[in-house]
Chain A
Amino acid sequence: MAHVEREKAAGLVALGRADPEARAAFEHAEGCEECVRLLRRSSAALGLLDSLPPAEPPSHEALDRTSSAILAKLGSPEEKPGEGAAPVTRARGVWKVAPIAATVVVWGLYIAIARYRTMEPRLWIESFAAIVIAGVSARIATSGGRWLVLMSAVASAGLASTGSMSPDLAAMLGAKCVIMELAGAAIPFFLAARLVKDGGIRPTIAVFVGVAGAGALAAQAALQVVCMAQSGLAHEWIFHFGGVALAMGLAFAFGRRFIPREQEAQRA
């Protein structure tokens, strides 16, 4: 390794050996007198920070004012002890079932109101598999999973790739498919927004992307058995997978608006 850069020495010392760049610098310095002196002097300079007397403490008046304001709120009849945590617990209990329920409702509703339903068993099996993944994905999204929320996109791509090589794009029908998927995504999305507002689930953008993806995937799972153009590979990729991707993209773009400012403290 090259010599330790003078401008970086203090920062590396502050980071300590846990940081790979700093560790490399310390290892180099073991055999380099010039660098070891630089790091020692930097360490001594930063050590002066630790010997600083504590900053001026808060005034007694401010401490009393703040704590009595909060204690009064905690003791007020409108805010009984235990009330703080109760809504969270209730909301969490409901939320364990809500995302799965929302995706199953979307899937079931679309199949129930469809004029056409395929009789091909393979497509029904694929549809069932996709709705299970959609439910699991929604559950993961609301329990704090981050990258796993992309599971819907992967499952959607897998489902789209099952189509045949038919060149028929069926664009008019495709537009309807996209609208159905966006509507499917909107149901769990707004349900999540409501629960975030109530403090029932952790407010992160991953929640919104995850539930929107799950809702859109549930719609795609229904389309697998009710869409008359579903056998076309181009139609499936552009409209069925595209709808899921669009729903997740929109959730990513607009989800943050539904995160309350105080709760944004916990955003991912």
Chain B
Amino acid sequence: VVSRKVVGAVQRVRGPNLDPETARAAVTAATPSRKEKSEESLMAAYARGDKEAFTELFERLAPRVHAFFMRSFRSRALADDLMQTTFLKIHRARESYHPEEPLRPWVFTIAARIRIDELRKRYRLPEDASEDAIEKLETAQTPAPSPLERLEDATRDSTVRQALDRLPETQRVVIHLHRFEGLSFAEIGRLLGASEGAVRVRAFRGYESLRVSLEHLVGEAD
């Protein structure tokens, strides 16, 4: 039930011409449903064998896990495969999840392990190659944008996307988890197997590169 007071407040913010029904709909859309279960409780129910809980959790998390791999590898087919691998691993490891802990860092820890295995395969690195070794290799191999690529920066969205894509993968992943998944540097460090300081440095480098690449768009915006 949305109270008249709340509807009135929305009308004050959005303008007096906003009709009460629209205001009520806006409030309802912005307020999380009481029935909406937390991801942690869904995971606990899924671990007990609840199929509906799994389905709901999968609907919520699959696009996020997929987006993580898309950001990392920029290939939809590969992201599809790695998403599947991640969920199969989550299924095998579901008993080790403790509901009192936040779910997303746990899920992304599993996804991050799959990502690093894929990177090791890609760069033919030994099984114990660390995140730092991959970062060094990547930074050396990341090419500068070609004149053709610069010409392709026709729209703002494609410029932003390409600025992100041009970052070394190790910076891209940190920025994705920090900016788009809202994880802290400490959480990212734990799930990538790196120190919080190293993650912070990597994020700062990435954000700085983005600032430099996107500054001309800000100029236009001003």
Residues on A lying within 8 angstroms of B by beta carbon are 7-11, 13-14, 41-42, 44-46, 48-49, 51-59, 61-63, 65-67, 69-71, 73-75, 79-85, 87-88, 199, 202-203, 261-267
B46 to chain A, nearest CB (A): 8
Within 8 A of A (CB), among B169-222: 178-180, 190-191, 200, 203-204, 207-208, 210-211, 214-215, 217-218, 221-222
A262 touches B89 (CB 8 A): yes
B79 touches A84 (CB 8 A): no
Residues on B lying within 8 angstroms of A by beta carbon are 44, 46-51, 54-55, 58, 62-63, 66-67, 70-71, 76, 79-81, 83-84, 87-89, 91-98, 101, 106, 109-110, 113, 156-157, 160-161, 164, 178-180, 190-191, 200, 203-204, 207-208, 210-211, 214-215, 217-218, 221-222
Residue contacts A-B, CB under 8 angstroms, 11 given: A42-B207, A51-B160, A53-B157, A58-B63, A66-B58, A84-B48, A84-B95, A85-B44, A262-B96, A262-B110, A264-B109
A59 touches B76 (CB 8 A): yes
B contacts with A: majority SS: helix
A57 partner, pick from B63, B109, B113, beta carbons under 8 A: B63
A199 touches B95 (CB 8 A): yes
Shortest 3 CB-CB distances between A and B: which pairs?
A81-B49, A11-B204, A62-B80
CA distance in complex: A46, B163 (Å): 11
Total of A-B residue pairs, C-beta within 8 Å: 164
Closest to A37 in B: B222
B203 partner, pick from A14, A48, A73, beta carbons under 8 A: A14
Closest to A9 in B: B211
